[in-house]
Amino acid sequence: MWILPFVGYVGIICGFTFLTLAIASGLYYLSELVEEHTVVSRRILTRLIQAIIVAHVLLFAFDGFPFLLTLFSGASHGVYAMNLRRFPMVALTDGWFIGSCILVVSNHILWFRHFSKPPEPLYDYSSSSSAYNRHKNTYGSGMEYKPVPSFSEISAFFGLCVWLVPFALFVSLSAGENVLPSSMGGDSSAGVVGDDKKKNKGRKGLFKGGIDGIWDWLMESGQALGVGGGRRRSAFD
């Protein structure tokens, strides 16, 4: 077979492309909702952080999760909550925001190392039958281990308890706080008479502004190569 594998590769590429576009469109729509309903979004994020902290406490109490790592993850979500003070206007140079970025990476690495460890045996090596158990373990039998979480359980934990709040904050952030007309000096009427496009661009969220920037770059590149339709805009338009 020569054609069918080629068709399979093309299908995989198209499916991955469509999935990426669908995720980007969904995130773009979420950023629109956050900008239109900031009060509700802040309340939802606050309740979400509280629920995840409670989930960490329950995992520690009933499933035996490590205490220090659970405490670190709960404290990390407390730092995430500090970014909601002026939501959705968060400065990228703010100490709480920089600390949150560091904690996201650290939290992921620590939990990944925790789940990557081999399972621990349930028996006690200090007992009289420990030598017998070790001997049987050499041949792959007679050993009992703690239950290992499945891949779906680990994925759900990372998605909900590690990545969800930082990703929601990333989608909700404002990238143009310093260019808002209200934060600039001078006459406030100048911002009203000025360019509306720049004003709206300053109010875009971080993710939305990034998507729009990539789209504008692709359109300009296509027009420069003669691929896109329409007339290329000059600098004097």
Query: What type of residue sits at position 34?
Result: V
Q: With bands split at pLDDT 50, 70 and 90, how would you rate the model's confidence at 111?
A: very high
Q: Using an 8 Å Cβ cutoff, are 220 and 193 in contact?
A: no
Instruction: Report DSSP letters for 137-164, one per residue.
Output: HHTT-S--BPPPPPHHHHHHHIIIIIIH
Residue 168 neighbours by CB distance under 10 Å: 18
Give the mean pLDDT of 35-47: 86
Q: With bands split at pLDDT 50, 70 and 90, how would you rate the model's confidence at 86?
A: confident
Q: With bands split at pLDDT 50, 70 and 90, how would you rate the model's confidence at 62?
A: very high
Domain boundaries, the chain: 25-173
Indicate if the pLDDT at residue 145 is higher than 70: no
pLDDT of res. 175: 42
Residue 102 neighbours by CB distance under 10 Å: 11
Indicate if the pLDDT at residue 54 is higher than 80: yes
Q: Using an 8 Å Cβ cutoff, are 176 and 201 in contact?
A: yes
Query: What type of residue sits at position 153?
Result: E
